[in-house]
């Protein structure tokens, strides 16, 4: 599996276009992904279509996230089109137009403008794998009157008064509170003695908002003490000083906010220093397939908060998409990460809004999205957007890396009880922290 996943990720790094119908990127003389390209299996010219835009990193340091999102969106399109398309629009089929932001926040605004200019009939847009990529684009979508959906968690996204912007995942304060709630649950239910917490985070919008929320949640706890608080430069090559600082402070548990490269580097640096704190990741890099594939058995028991998990109880118990995780893995040969789930969810939400509005007009679709009250692939039950565009019912869940019967480690939902699908596993590390 590791070899297959590595092949997929390597192919994406040389992608010149992403087809919506094929499992692997396709090279051609057509425009590159950064210029935009419709899916290779797009409906024929005689069929009525509706376009949904995707803006994600398909090259650069965060290209793996682009893979996850595009694959999740492609699966959603296949499912919706196979079920008859948008019936209120005469069975119109969904077509993806996919643009590459090159993992560069400075290019995101221009990419957003280009997507709209080259596809004036696009009905909605989803993106963009990081809050730093999302924020520069918001004014573009608002001005154009095109609904934009994102799974990013920064409160800044929904605090600017935009009516065409929707964030359907839990927000940063919920992530931090879930991390603290998990620690307090461990202390109470398993008689652990965890008091000293450290937070480390990349110096980006996402890292800053996550760390601010963590400081507040830890500060409000009666049992936890924040003993280390330090940022680092994203995509660092050396995190030794960070790990030494954590060790010197006596941290028993660490809340890291990192993407894949940094998450692996942080973990491996801890191993090299024979330092084994409890890790409760802030999502992203601590949830991706390559994290588990590269760390092997060392990943067992690692915890991370997540905005989406395909095996959260509210998803597993809904027949509409209860098997989406298994079908995703069968199709792409790697388990469905949270960004694959969220991208599937975004396309699904747009399809429901189109069905309800029976229109492709931007304002009509926006109002239909705002009026959605349905179960979706976001944990927490029925989705409901507030006036500011935030889903008030979104919850953060805690997942734990556990080895399945096929020998593969996958993150499974263990907390809160309302969303848990497997039992929490007590690791040797946690046993050592139990009160004697």
| pLDDT of 32 higher than 90 | no
State pTM to two decimals: 0.85
Domain that holds residue 93: 2-170+313-384
* 220 lies in the same domain as 263: yes
| pLDDT of 426 higher than 90 | no
Residue 324 located in a structural domain: yes
* 255 lies in the same domain as 367: no
Residue 11 located in a structural domain: yes
* 111 lies in the same domain as 217: no
* 109 lies in the same domain as 39: yes
Q: What are the DSSP calls for 215-248, one per residue? A: HHHHHH-SS-EEEEEEEE-TT-S--HHHHHHHHH
Region 47-53 average pLDDT: 93
| pLDDT of 291 higher than 70 | yes
Residue 390 located in a structural domain: no
| pLDDT of 368 higher than 90 | yes
Q: What is the DSSP letter of 170?
A: P
* 92 lies in the same domain as 204: no
* 69 lies in the same domain as 94: yes
pLDDT digits (tens, 9 = 90+) for 240-281: 999 999 999 999 999 999 988 899 999 999 999 999 999 999
Q: What are the DSSP calls for 329-382, one per residue? A: HHHHSS---HHHHHHHHHHHHHHHHHHHHT---HHHHHHHHHT-EE--SSSSSS
* 137 lies in the same domain as 190: no
* 176 lies in the same domain as 166: no
Model pLDDT, residue 393: 92
Model pLDDT, residue 436: 55
Under the banding of pLDDT at 50, 70 and 90, the label for residue 9 is very low
Residue 95 located in a structural domain: yes
Of the candidates 83, 116, 68, 99, the residue with the CA atom closest to the CA atom of residue 351: 83
Model pLDDT, residue 435: 67
In sequence order, which residues have a C-beta less than 8 Å from that of residue 387 and are 6 or more positions away? none
Model pLDDT, residue 1: 46
* 280 lies in the same domain as 424: yes
Q: How many domains does the chain have?
A: 2
Residue 265 located in a structural domain: yes
| pLDDT of 34 higher than 70 | no
Highest mean pLDDT among 25-29, 80-84, 175-179, 432-436: 80-84
* 123 lies in the same domain as 269: no
Query: What string of H, E and C letters represents the secondary structure of 49-114?
Result: EEEEEEEECCCCCCHHHHHHHHHHHHHHHHHHHHCCCEHHHCCEEEEEEEEECCCCHHHHHHHHHH
User: How far is the C-alpha of 159 from the C-alpha of 175, rounded, in Å?
Assistant: 18
* % of the chain with per-residue pLDDT over 90: 71
Under the banding of pLDDT at 50, 70 and 90, the label for residue 37 is low
Model pLDDT, residue 26: 28
Residue found under tokens 């349905």: 374
Region 36-46 average pLDDT: 51
Residue 69 located in a structural domain: yes
Residue 163 located in a structural domain: yes
Q: Which of 3-7, 114-118, 200-204, 219-223 has the lowest mean pLDDT?
A: 3-7
| pLDDT of 35 higher than 80 | no
What's 181's domain CATH number? 3.40.50.2300
Residue 412 located in a structural domain: yes
Q: Which of 28-37, 63-72, 312-321 has the lowest mean pLDDT?
A: 28-37
Model pLDDT, residue 235: 84
Model pLDDT, residue 210: 86
| pLDDT of 20 higher than 80 | no
The residue that leads in pLDDT, 190 or 405, is: 405
The residue that leads in pLDDT, 315 or 36, is: 315
pLDDT digits (tens, 9 = 90+) for 405-422: 999 999 999 999 999 999
* 164 lies in the same domain as 178: no
Model pLDDT, residue 39: 52
User: How far is the C-alpha of 263 from the C-alpha of 252, rounded, in Å?
Assistant: 18
- Please state, as a whole number, how many other Cβ atoms lie within 10 Å of the Cβ of residue 248: 10
Model pLDDT, residue 206: 81
Q: What is the mean pLDDT of the chain?
A: 88
Region 159-187 average pLDDT: 93
pLDDT digits (tens, 9 = 90+) for 300-338: 999 999 999 999 999 999 988 899 999 999 999 999 999
Under the banding of pLDDT at 50, 70 and 90, the label for residue 205 is confident
* % of the chain with per-residue pLDDT over 70: 89
Under the banding of pLDDT at 50, 70 and 90, the label for residue 3 is very low
Structural contact between residues 310 and 324, judged by C-beta atoms closer than 8 angstroms: yes
Region 2-11 average pLDDT: 41
* 98 lies in the same domain as 16: yes
């Amino acid at each position: 599996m590791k070899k297959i996943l590595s092949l997929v990720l390597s192919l994406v790094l040389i992608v010149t276009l992403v087809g919506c119908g094929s499992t692997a990127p396709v090279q051609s003389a057509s425009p590159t992904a950064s210029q935009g390209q419709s899916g290779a299996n797009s409906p024929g010219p005689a069929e009525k279509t509706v376009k949904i835009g995707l803006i994600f990193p398909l090259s650069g340091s965060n290209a793996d996230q682009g893979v996850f999102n595009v694959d999740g969106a492609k699966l959603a399109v296949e499912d919706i089109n196979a079920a008859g398309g948008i019936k209120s629009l005469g069975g119109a089929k969904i077509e993806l137009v996919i643009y590459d932001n090159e993992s560069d926040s400075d290019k995101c605004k221009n990419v957003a403008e280009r997507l709209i200019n080259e596809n004036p009939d696009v009905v909605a847009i989803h993106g963009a794998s990081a809050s730093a990529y999302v924020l520069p684009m918001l004014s573009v979508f608002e001005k154009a009157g095109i609904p934009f959906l994102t799974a990013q968690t920064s409160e800044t996204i929904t605090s600017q008064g935009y009516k065409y912007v929707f964030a359907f995942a839990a927000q940063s304060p919920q992530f931090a509170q879930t991390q603290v709630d998990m620690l307090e649950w461990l202390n109470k239910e398993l008689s652990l003695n965890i008091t000293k917490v450290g937070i480390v985070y990349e110096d980006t919008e996402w890292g800053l908002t996550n760390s601010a929320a963590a400081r507040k949640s830890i500060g409000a706890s009666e049992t936890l003490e924040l003993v280390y608080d330090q940022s680092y430069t994203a995509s660092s090559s050396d995190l030794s000083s960070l790990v030494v600082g954590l060790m010197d402070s006596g941290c028993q548990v660490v809340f890291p906010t990192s993407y894949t490269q940094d998450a692996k580097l942080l973990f491996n640096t801890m191993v090299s220093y024979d330092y084994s704190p409890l890790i409760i990741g802030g999502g992203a890099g601590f949830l991706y397939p390559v994290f588990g594939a590269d760390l092997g058995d060392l990943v067992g028991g690692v915890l991370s908060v997540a905005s989406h998990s395909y095996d959260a109880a509210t998803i597993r118990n809904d027949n509409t998409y209860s098997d989406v995780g298994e079908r995703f893995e069968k199709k792409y040969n790697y388990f469905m990460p949270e960004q694959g789930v969220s991208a599937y969810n975004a396309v699904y939400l747009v399809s429901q809004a189109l069905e309800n509005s029976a229109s492709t007009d931007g304002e009509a679709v926006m109002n239909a999205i705002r009026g959605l009250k349905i179960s979706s692939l976001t944990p927490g039950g029925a989705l409901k957007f507030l006036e500011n565009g935030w889903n008030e019912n979104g919850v953060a869940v805690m997942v734990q890396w556990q080895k399945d019967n096929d020998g593969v480690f996958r993150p499974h939902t263990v907390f809160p009880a309302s969303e848990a699908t497997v039992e929490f596993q007590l690791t040797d590390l946690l046993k050592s922290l139990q009160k004697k």
